[in-house]
Chain A
Amino acid sequence: MIKLHLYIVILTTILLLCTAKSSFAQSSYVLPYPPPMPGNFLYKIRLVSEQIQKYWYFGNFGQFSYSLRQSDKYLVQAKTLFEYKQYLLGDDALKKSDMYFKNSPKYLSYAKEESKNIDRQQKILKEAALKHIEVLNEIKMYVPKEIIWNPENSHPTKIFLSGTLAEAIRIRESCL
């Protein structure tokens, strides 16, 4: 009986080792959970809260944190939407994430002009950029390069996803 147990344990371990894939994160930076998506009633509340928070996060360090947080949220939103093949909405979300990400270093340079030490924030920005690039490369694997989006009651739209993703990666790389 003991031999049988031992045999099962060894076999399971071998099977696990053979099938497991190694996956290492490039950055220890943690992205948030997916926020409420377009179509959800909480999405409108999220947009209002986003506008209010813009004023709550005053100061250059505050604006830096705000921009980075929003960029993170929209990136996660874009990833989720792409996974559900909602390319038009995903493309919009990714562009918003880019816009916020571009703002982050701007506030750091303002803070530097005020003689604030920005070493810690620069480190965070670099880690965030690495994590974003990691996610963007993942998205690149499963989205089409371009797609014609046919909404029900509107004209079709051509979306150049590969271009949007390349631009998003370029923005992040400029912060490394």
Chain B
Amino acid sequence: MMKKVFFILYPVALLGLTIFSYLFIDPNLIYLKDFYSGFAYKYRYEVSFFYLLILFIIFTSYLLLLKLISKKKIDFKNLRFLIFITIAILFFSYPAMLSFDIFNYITTAKVLFFYHENPYIVMPIEFVGDPLLSFTHAANKIALYGPSWILITAIPYFAGIGNFLVTLFIFKLFISIFYLGTVFLIWKISKNLFSVSLFAVNPLVVIETLVSGHNDIVMMFFALLSFYILMKKRSIILALIFFMLSILIKYSTIFLFPIFLYILWKTIRKRTIDWTKIFYFSSFFMLVAFLLSPIREEIYPWYAIWFLPFVSIAFQKRALLHAWLALSFGLLLRYIPFMLLGTHFGVTPFFKTALTFTPVFFVLIYIFFKDKLWLKISFR
């Protein structure tokens, strides 16, 4: 029964999210002007309510799935099917529903591959009259990402054959391939369906990667790949190349550098490595990077992708898992204040922070009382 409910609820929620995403089409996006309704800008309360509703349904399905997997009611084939369904449905969603970064990726690629200018020197805004400028939000900035990201975007950019909409969806497909690759690596490393589903079906990962198309997944894929290569005791050089590639996507995996050096040292000295500890510390180090992100700008929800792959592999304790899930939920709630108020200023930053950490706070309180943690503390 539970399985049936899940297999109906989950695809319906994804389909709902895909349709809902088109309410957010930017009025300046001339390529999709036939789909533009302005609904998200006119009916802010309704849109916020529907977003919250979709989040609840997706999170409920996710929790249901985790329960089904822990009861061994879902096998490898079921999960594989589910992941493909997720990719297939969300591929058609409008990517700039919650963030405009995908436009930025395309514009940066255009600066390099079309205009043949260095995106670290020349800003997109300097190409007066370019149609992408009307909807690219960071056009007045030089390239924000690392060189390996800009170089690999040559693939989706040229595959788009100069058509904006084709390019946009090929960028989404490109990101989806890295999502699939990351999920595959988590499976190869953990050989655990629960770990795989914990990451692959996490609504935050799914929305930020398969809807918004953030490149954080590409960075994490290369980091995991380098760890996997070292785990299987294959070429150290290859692992180093992939690790450097990862750092040069978005720089955050530089926080894993001490761990990478430790693994190299152990590998060269032919000592055994406790990989559970490695992934445990990797998630901790990437969590530090995540928590330090407000120094640069603010905590963006998709930054959670920096530690979630490691968390999925290393953490199986119920209490901590609940905290991670609450954080994923809280981070997706961060979008509501802007959706509702239409401004990034005023009370919006306060509500964003409050909404992010409130679910975590309540979960921790719940665990404290449910597990009678005060007894454990007082008996020490």
A117 and B128 form a contact (CB under 8 A): yes
A60 and B129 form a contact (CB under 8 A): no
* A18 to B122 Cα, complex, angstroms: 47
Tell me the minimal C-beta distance from B353 to chain A in angstroms.
39
Most chain B CB atoms below 10 A, which of A61, A116, A117 = A61
Query: Which chain B residues in 349-366 approach chain A with CB under 8 Å?
Result: none
Interface membership of A156, Cβ < 8 A? no
B129 and A58 form a contact (CB under 8 A): no
Please tell me which one of the listed residues A58, A119, A120 contacts residue B117 in the complex, with CB atoms under 8 A apart.
Answer: A58
Interface membership of A38, Cβ < 8 A? no
Chain A residues, Cβ within 8 Å of B118: 56-59, 62
Residue of B nearest to A118 (CB): B128
B115 and A65 form a contact (CB under 8 A): no
A120 and B128 form a contact (CB under 8 A): yes
A62 and B126 form a contact (CB under 8 A): no
B side interface size, CB within 8 A: 11
Chain A residues, Cβ within 8 Å of B115: 59, 61, 114, 116
Please tell me which one of the listed residues A57, A120, A121 contacts residue B121 in the complex, with CB atoms under 8 A apart.
Answer: A57
A120 and B126 form a contact (CB under 8 A): yes
Q: How large is the interface on A (under 10, 10 to 19, 20 to 34, 35 or more residues)?
A: 10 to 19
Interface membership of B42, Cβ < 8 A? no
Contact string against B for A residues 80-100, beta-carbon threshold 8 Å, 1 for contact and 0 otherwise:
000000000000000000000
Chain A residues, Cβ within 8 Å of B120: 56
Tell me the minimal C-beta distance from B326 to chain A in angstroms.
46
B117 and A59 form a contact (CB under 8 A): yes
**A117-B129 contact, Cβ under 8 Å, with A59-B115, A59-B116:** yes
Chain B residues, Cβ within 8 Å of A58: 116-118
Interface membership of B127, Cβ < 8 A? yes
* A61 to B128 Cα, complex, angstroms: 13
* A58 to B115 Cα, complex, angstroms: 11
Residue of B nearest to A121 (CB): B126
Chain A residues, Cβ within 8 Å of B126: 61, 120-121
Contact string against B for A residues 45-65, beta-carbon threshold 8 Å, 1 for contact and 0 otherwise:
000000000001111111001
Chain A residues, Cβ within 8 Å of B121: 56-57, 59, 61-62, 65
Tell me the minimal C-beta distance from A30 to chain B in angstroms.
18
Chain A residues, Cβ within 8 Å of B116: 58-59
Chain A residues, Cβ within 8 Å of B122: 59, 61-62, 65
Task: Known A-B contacts: A56-B121, A62-B118, A120-B128. Give 15 more (CB < 8 A).
Answer: A56-B120, A57-B118, A57-B121, A58-B117, A58-B118, A59-B115, A60-B117, A61-B115, A61-B117, A61-B121, A65-B122, A114-B115, A117-B127, A117-B128, A121-B126
* CB-defined A-B contacts under 8 Å, sample of 21: A56-B118, A57-B118, A57-B121, A58-B117, A58-B118, A59-B115, A59-B117, A59-B122, A60-B117, A61-B121, A61-B126, A62-B117, A62-B121, A65-B121, A65-B122, A116-B115, A116-B127, A117-B127, A119-B128, A120-B126, A121-B126
